[in-house]
Structures are given as C-alpha cells and as structure tokens.
Structure 1
Amino acid sequence: MCIFTCVTGDGIVAGFVLKRLQMPSSVGQKTLRFALILLFLQTHAVEAAIADGNDRLPVGYIEQPVALVAQSPGAVFTEPDRVMVKEPLLKALIQLNDTLSPYQLDASSQVPISFQDVLKAALANNLPLKMSRSSVESKHWQFRGALAQFLPDISTGINAQEIRGNFASPFGIVAPINSPFVTVPNTFNMYFFRGGSILYGALRRRHEWKAAQYELKGTTNDVLYQAAKLYWQLALNDVLLQVRISALEKAQAAYELNKGRNEHGFGTKLDVLQAQSEVSRYRQNLIVQQVIRRQAAVDLATALNLDPSVDYFLKDRLVASTRLVDANLNVNKLVDIAIDNRPELKQYEYLRLAAKDAIKVARAPLLPKIVGSAGVITTGADVFRNSTLSQSAAPASSFTIGPNGVPILAPIAVNTSGSRSFRMTENYFLGISLVWALNNMGLSDIAAVKSAKWDAIKAADAYRLQLTKVYQEVRNAYLECLKSANLLIETTNAINSGSEQMDVATKRLEEGLGNELDLLTAQDAYTAALIDKARAILEFNMAEAALLRATGRISIETLTSSIPIKS
C-alpha cells in the first residue's frame, strides 16, 4: 500500500491511499506518475472547494479516477526487446453484446496455444499442405504407371460361335456348315521400339514427380511462414488491445476529474467536453481492437484447420524479438543460400526437364514401331471321331445344283462310320513386325511437336521468372529486417521521449504553466510510442521469419531456435 498525504493551503491534511501497482516497473512508474498528477489536481480541487465554503465533496471523488489508472488491468510493459502480454480483465473491456463475452466475443471457449503448437498444428492440419501431399502421391503413381510401359502386353480371351448354314466361296461354290466353333487366343506383345515414347514418357513422369515433391516443400515453407505470421499478428493485437485499455482508463480518469472540477465551480464546460471527446475516441479504438483481436484468432484457427469457434490466446505471455538470421550475412550471401535451398527453383527446373522430355514423346508417332509377338491360339469344333474317311479329288459328278441354280460342293471327306464330337486344337506363333504409320500424313504429329517445343520454352521462362522472384524476395526481406531492427531502436527512443514529455507536462502543471490538455497530449504521445514499440517487436519477428522463408531455410527448428542461421 502507498499512502500519499497532501496539505492544503488552509493546513487541512488530505490523505489518500493507493494500492500498490501490480505491474512491471517502467509502465508502473508512468501509470503511478499519471495517478499522482490526478491526485495533485484533485487536491487543489479540494482546497478550492473548501475556500468556497463547500466542505462536502462527493464520496470517491478523488479516489475513483485515481484507482481507475492505478489498477489498470490492460497496462503493457515494454522493454527494448520484449513485451509482456497480460490477459485483460473482462471489466476493462467494452460489452459489445449482452450475451457475449467482451474478450471471446462469438467464441464458445478459450484454449491457450504456444508458438511451437501453432507450427506443429500447421504441418499436421493445413488443407493446402494436405492437397500438395496428395498431388505428390498422384505424380508418384503416374511415374510407376509409365515404368509399366516397359512390360509386355498380355491378352487372352474366348470366342464361341454356333455356325449353321452355307458358305459361299469366291469361286461360286456353296459349302454347307453346321458346327459350333470356339477360338481361345493367348497373345504376348513386346514393344521393342515405339519412337522413344516409353523411355522419355517415363523420364517425363519422373521429372514431374520430383517437381511435385519440391512443390510440397515450397508449400510447407509457405504454410510455416503463414502460421508464424498469424501467430505474431495475434500477439500484436493482444498487445494493442491492452494498450487501448490503458489509454481508455487514463482518458476516463481525466474525464472524471474534469467533470468533478466543473461540478464544483473551478473547471469549465469546455474541459469536460474535450475530455468526453477523448473518452469517446478511445472507446471507439478499443471496440475496433476487440474485434480485430478476435478476427486474428479466427484467421489463425482457419489457417491451422482448427475449430474457429474456439478462441485461441497466447500461452507464452512474454514475447521477445528474436533474430533468426545472422546479422553479419550480407545480401549476396543470402541470395546464394536461397539459390541452393529454395524448393521453388528445383521445382521449376524439373518442370523444365519434363517439358523437354515431352518434345521427344510428341515426336514418337513420326517414327516406326517394332513389335515382337508370340502366342497360342486354341480352336475347337465338332469333328468326326472313330470314323473312316474316304478322301479323293472331287469328280465332275460331285457338283450338284442347289436352290436357285447355285452349285453345291459335295464334301471331299466322307464319313463312312462313327460319330461327331467337340475337339480342341492348338496353334503356336512367334513373330516380329515393323510398322510405320503416319496419321493425317504426319501433320498432326508435327504440330504436336511444335507445340511441345513452345511449352518447353515457356517452362524455361517460368524458371527464370521464379529465379527473379527469389532475388526480389530475398532482397525485400533483407531490407525489411534492416528496417525492423532500426525501428526497435527508434521506438525505444520514442518511448523515452514520451516519458520526458509526461515529466515536462507534469512539472508545467505543478508550476501553473500548463494545463490538463498538455498532460493528455503527452499521454497520447506515450500511448502511440507504446503501440509503435509493440508493433516494431512483433514485426521484427515477422521480418525474420520472412527472410528465413526467402532463403529456403524455414522450418520448426529454425523458427524456434535461439541461434540464428549463418549459412
């Protein structure tokens, strides 16, 4: 407990009790100083009221505004390289809806989450990452299917027919047919050469599979960076929420002070209206910040494919600026690291190779094909068994005249005894063939070759475009890190300057040279400095993560390591 005693001009002692500030030293000192200023002003208000014969002041007139500042639940402690993210009290927030929590808003529950939890959840649950993994598996099986083209084609089947009637030969002879007929072909075809489409088709699929693997790595890098960025944005909005709370409480305390002064005749209505306007402005800022913080939690949950009805908040309350890339690495060295590690470059290189293979595949129909074949063809029909066949050349008398004057050939083999039965026989064949066929006189295939060549040129240009993007991203990320590192220093200077402004405003007010407006202006400057400092710390972390991604070295290990990468 801290007891402050002020002596009025009439020798009347006014004692006031403030609870000890439960906050780190720097912000606690600033808040305490502001509370003491309000106490000083109200002491003079007591003196003036007594001088006017009014010795009955409202209960809590002095204690209430001072307590509003001294017990600030949204106060933020900022050091040169870290910020303490305190969980705000619900009573310090503005109730946006009677049925909703002012902090969770539309969320049904709260779950704490750490930076490492966010990164692990991103790798496990992110939907674009799952889609990229599926693409890799698809390309993998396409490659295996292309390898299967080296294997021979095997076919088998059965063809059963019932043939009844007469067969008219080109010689004008009609032969009677009355027998079931079965054919069972079993063939084996091996393509020894198909214009290179098998070999280069397999190489093309392999290069596409490799490109998909590096695309997955690139997607993983993007997902990790996006998850880290959303986490830092949630932390930033938590910090800004507490800064807005603290600013509103100080504005509310100033408003209560001016209102009391005006009610007792030694203030002006203008002072009250100005203070009320400040309170309204800070309330608007707080309302906006409450919604933005919740939106940041929703964005994080959506990126992690988690339940957006759960409000995720920071488990690690101390957020510090962390250097992830060695500051001594110059930009040229960083570009070299990116060329060696960026998966996008390897992805587009394999796509370029696949496009070159596609030219050879398109040229294959213009070349001959060599096919080896082997097989067994089994046939079956009703034949005479256990019979004596008398065979002889057909005499002239063997021709008879059938219906419509068509000659009918008498059978050469005549069954003299026995019965008919179904019999199967096998025929074996082995061969090789060379086929050279040009569809549409080869013009359509020539057009396909030309198209494939232009696709290869496009793939090469895409690689060069990606290379220029890598250069751009590395340099932009490097410059962003330079800016953020220097803003850390400058925002610290701004906080010191804001503190000095408050000291000067305090002294001027004590000596009667200043007014409450000067003090509020100084408080605005100090609040803005706190916001800029918190933003600088968290944007520094975002810039470092962006530089890690730009160099292709981003991972859970590098994002959470306390040792910056050096190569």
Structure 2
Amino acid sequence: MTKPSLQILAVTLCFALPAGAASLSDPFATEAVTPPRPSPQAAGRSAGVPCAREIPAAPLTAIDAVDLTLCNNPQTREIWAAARYQAAQVGVAQAAWLPNLDGRLGSSRLWSEQRNYNSTSAALTLSWLVFDSGARSASGESARQLLAAAVATQDATVQSLFLSALQSFYTAQAARAAVASTTEAERAAREGFSAAESRYEVGIATPADRLLAQTALSQATLNRIRVEGEARNALGALASVMGFRAGQPIELAAPPAGQPDAAFAQDVAALIAEAEARRPDLKAAEAQVRAAEAGVDLARAQGRPTITVSAAPTWAEVDRVSANGGVVGVTVNLPLFTGFDTTYRVRAAEAQVDLRAAQRDSLRNQVALDVWRAYQSLTTATQSLRTTLDLVASAEQSERVALGRYKAGVGNVLDLLTAQSALAAARLQRIQAALDWYVFRATLAQAVGALDYSLLEPAAQGRP
C-alpha cells in the first residue's frame, strides 16, 4: 500500500472524529449527559455527608433513613445503570455518522506439479454513509429522548424511594409509640385489677368484678404483645428499604418536640398545575412520546435512498511480484420495492406514538388524582390531629375520675374498664393521626414532584 493512500485515510478519519472528543474511551462525551449516581447530595442534601454502608449505632433520624436508602437501596443502582445504558445508546447513534474502516490481510501457499509459490495480500476498506434520508438524525433524536426519559425516571424513582424511607421510618416510630401506649394501658389495667382484687378480698366487690378486671388485664397484655410484634416488623421493613437485611438492630430517634405545624397550601388547583410541570414521571412519559415520533421518521427514512462513498487501497504479492491498486466508488441504494415492509414499519411506528401519547395522558390524569387524594388525606389528617388532642385529654381525665371513684368504693368496675378502654383507644388514635399527618405530608410533596430534603428541615415542617 502506498504512503499517499495511508495519508489520505488518516486525514479522512481525523476529520471524521467529533470536535472536542473527550477520549477514545468516550469520544462523544456521553459521560457529560449521564446523570449523577443517586445519592443524598444529588437529591438536594445540603450537607456533604458521605454514604454510610452500615446502620449507625446512634439513634436514627428521618434524614438518616433517607440518606441510607439513597446510598444503599439496590433500586438506585438499577436506575443509574439504566440511565448509563441509555447515554451509551446516544453514543451508538452518533457513531453512525462516522465512516467505517476495515482491514484485511491474507497469506496463502499455492502449489502445483510445475511450481510452488506464496501469495500475500492486504487491503483497507473505507465506507462512509454520506446520505440516508434522515435516518441517522431520527435515530439520534430517538436516543436523546429516551435518555431524557431515563433521567426523568431516575428522578421519579429517587422521590419514590425518598417517600418509602419516610413511610417506613414514621411507621416504625408510630409502632414504637404504640408499644409505649399499650404498655401504659396494660399498667392501668393491672392497677384496675389490683383495685378489684382488693375490694373482692374485703367483700365489697363481686367475683364478676374481679373476673372482668382480670379479663381486661389479659386483653391489655395481648394487645401489647401484638403491637410489639408489629413494631419488630416495622423495623425490619425500615432496614429493608434502607438496603439492609431485616433483623439488624435499629434505634430510632425521638419524635420532634411539640406538635406538627398544620399549615400548608390551600389551593389544590395550583398544586395540580405544579405537579403537571414538575412530576418527573410525566416528563419521562412526554420524552417517550417524542422518541416515538422520531421512530416514525426513522421508519420512513429506512425506505428511502442512501448514498455511500467507499475507498479501498490494496496491495498484493504473488510469487515475489508485488502490485498496488485500489478502488474508489459511490453506491446509491434505491429501495424500489420492499414487500411493503416500510409501509407496515411506518404504520407500527405511528401506532407507537398513539400508544405513548395515550399513556402520557393517562398518567397526567393519575397525577391530578394523586395530588387530589394526597391533599384530601392531609386535610383529614390535620383535622384528626387537632381532634385527637382533645380526645386524649378528655379520656385521661375520665380514666382518672373512674379509677378514683372505684378505689373510693362509689364507682363500678364497668365504668372503670370503659374509661380505660376509651383512653387506650384515644392514645392509639392520636398515634395514628400523627403518623398519617407525617406520611400524607410527604405523599403530597411526592405527588407534586417536590419531595426533597427541604421537607425535613425545621423551617419547612408545614410545607407539603
């Protein structure tokens, strides 16, 4: 092969490489468009906290639970891998704009009755698709839109994991509070049983009173055992969502002092409009529609003409006689008849656009419903939170009066048991109301597409 031929090929390839290519390992700089790996910092964490790989021995806060979830939950690795895959597909689409260079070497030994000789050959083949009726442009646009969908899906998954971490944490906290409440109810039932037994021993209470009090104590003990089991399950679920095996010891931090701030946005229509603009899953659905539209252009272009330029310098040596040569050509491909393949490819691509558009519209309706339900649930939880404060206060006073009257001999055991049962129920309702408020506040933020670390800051306790 002559030196001028090699120089021509080298110059051609240099001009073909993209300007500003990062490196040969990533000449199209797809790393620059790849989203960062899900982490607390990528989700808006203000403090630069490194990812912990173990559950801390210190009491776990809600922020700690979210940090561990975003660092260790396998779903974060899954969605990041999907985004990196789609970014690489953008590089694949861009590679179609460059020429292909193939090399071929051959060596053989030939013999016959007259003589034997060696044959050696070498060739380089350069082919460049210079016109394809827009197929490469459509393929590149589809890859870019699918990358945008993958990035938005990653954001949506991060918010979903954020919500799952908060739900599991608040559920575990509520379960622990329920254990304390049922333990206190068991103590009160034991005190009532002791009072009934004392009255029975002095002859001022019937055996029925004593049996009723004993039954109430057994029921309170059973409730405490059941709630303790639920608390252990809640801790196991929390460990799982944080990316650890269930059964690891977890110590929860105490709930925030004071009462939750019940102030939040009142305009549900504005929240729905904000959700339609911010929800990452809706952005992903819109990108899927645009990718499908690019697929229609690609299907049409695949049935249209293409032009390819090729060059192939060659060298051969046969029986010590060498020769140089080459070929330069232009190939025009005109698809005259493809058995209606293009027709049905276009029809299928257009149906895919309709499918993606319908899925996007369905999701938009679901987004509005998610916001509406979360808003109404938060409103109900806020009202319940206020009501349970009065409920617990009145139930505590009623229980104290009933116990005092029974000990003084002027009350009956049914009044005492009724008051104790009402107090235990009121305390559990208070715990459930607080759990609902924290969970639905986070759910509303996720429904709007605004769930991040600002929700856990003290100044934002009342913001949905």
Verify same fold: TM over 0.5: yes
- Which residue number corresponds to residue 296 of structure 2? 359
Amino acid aligned to 2:304: L
Q: How has the CA–CA distance of structure 1 residues 512 and 272 changed in structure 2, closer, same or farther, with 3 Å as cutoff?
A: closer
Aligned equivalents of 1:566, 1:233: Cα separation in 2: 20
- Which residue number corresponds to residue 151 of structure 2? 213
Identity value in percent: 22
1:212 is displaced (CA, Å) by 0.3
SS at match of 2:460: coil
Aligned equivalents of 1:313, 1:564: Cα separation in 2: 23
Question: Are 1:321 and 1:540, in contact at CA under 8 Å, matched by a contact in 2?
Answer: no
1:156 is displaced (CA, Å) by 0.7
The TM-score, its normalising length taken from structure 2, stands at 0.82
Deviation larger for 247-256 or 285-294:
247-256
- Which residue number corresponds to residue 281 of structure 1? 219
Amino acid aligned to 2:299: A
SS at match of 1:157: strand
Residues 346-379 of structure 1: CA distance to partner in whole angstroms, max 9, x if unpaired? 1111111111111222223311110011120111
1:133 to 74, 80, 88: 80
1:258 is displaced (CA, Å) by 2.0
Aligned equivalents of 2:371, 2:260: Cα separation in 1: 19
Give the 5 Å matches for 1:69-218. Answer: 112-164=59-111, 179-218=117-156
1:482 is displaced (CA, Å) by 0.6
Deviation larger for 263-272 or 346-355:
263-272
1:566 is displaced (CA, Å) by 7.0
Question: Are 1:116 and 1:560, in contact at CA under 8 Å, matched by a contact in 2?
Answer: no
* Pair 1:368-2:302 in alignment: no
Question: Are 2:316 and 2:323, in contact at CA under 8 Å, matched by a contact in 1?
Answer: yes
Residues 490-542 of structure 1: CA distance to partner in whole angstroms, max 9, x if unpaired? 11221233134335535755786531321221121122111111211221111
Say which one has the larger Rg. Answer: 1
* Pair 1:546-2:443 in alignment: yes
What is the Cα-based RMSD across aligned positions, in Å?
A: 2.5
- Can you give the 5+ residue segments of structure 2 that lack an aligned partner in the other structure? 1-55
Question: Are 1:320 and 1:537, in contact at CA under 8 Å, matched by a contact in 2?
Answer: no
Q: How has the CA–CA distance of structure 1 residues 428 and 323 changed in structure 2, closer, same or farther, with 3 Å as cutoff?
A: farther
1:118 is displaced (CA, Å) by 0.6
- Which residue number corresponds to residue 293 of structure 1? 231
Aligned equivalents of 1:258, 1:471: Cα separation in 2: 57
Aligned equivalents of 2:89, 2:115: Cα separation in 1: 51
- Which residue number corresponds to residue 482 of structure 1? 379
- Which residue number corresponds to residue 74 of structure 1? none
Amino acid aligned to 2:300: R
1:435 to 312, 333, 352: 333
* Pair 1:425-2:331 in alignment: no
Residues 218-242 of structure 1: CA distance to partner in whole angstroms, max 9, x if unpaired? 0000000110111100110011100
Give the 5 Å matches for 1:532-543. Answer: 532-543=429-440
2:348 to 442, 451, 458: 451
Aligned equivalents of 2:359, 2:259: Cα separation in 1: 37
Aligned equivalents of 2:261, 2:334: Cα separation in 1: 66
Aligned equivalents of 2:397, 2:258: Cα separation in 1: 25
Give the 5 Å matches for 1:166-565. Answer: 179-318=117-256, 321-323=259-261, 327-382=264-319, 422-437=320-335, 441-502=338-399, 505=402, 509=406, 513-563=410-460
Amino acid aligned to 1:299: A
Question: Are 1:251 and 1:279, in contact at CA under 8 Å, matched by a contact in 2?
Answer: yes
1:444 is displaced (CA, Å) by 2.5
Amino acid aligned to 2:275: A
1:216 is displaced (CA, Å) by 0.3
1:438 is displaced (CA, Å) by 5.5
Aligned equivalents of 2:89, 2:265: Cα separation in 1: 46
The TM-score, its normalising length taken from structure 1, stands at 0.68
1:425 is displaced (CA, Å) by 1.8
Aligned equivalents of 2:336, 2:215: Cα separation in 1: 86
Question: Are 2:454 and 2:460, in contact at CA under 8 Å, matched by a contact in 1?
Answer: no
Aligned equivalents of 1:512, 1:262: Cα separation in 2: 11
Aligned equivalents of 1:154, 1:123: Cα separation in 2: 44
Q: How has the CA–CA distance of structure 1 residues 523 and 114 changed in structure 2, closer, same or farther, with 3 Å as cutoff?
A: same
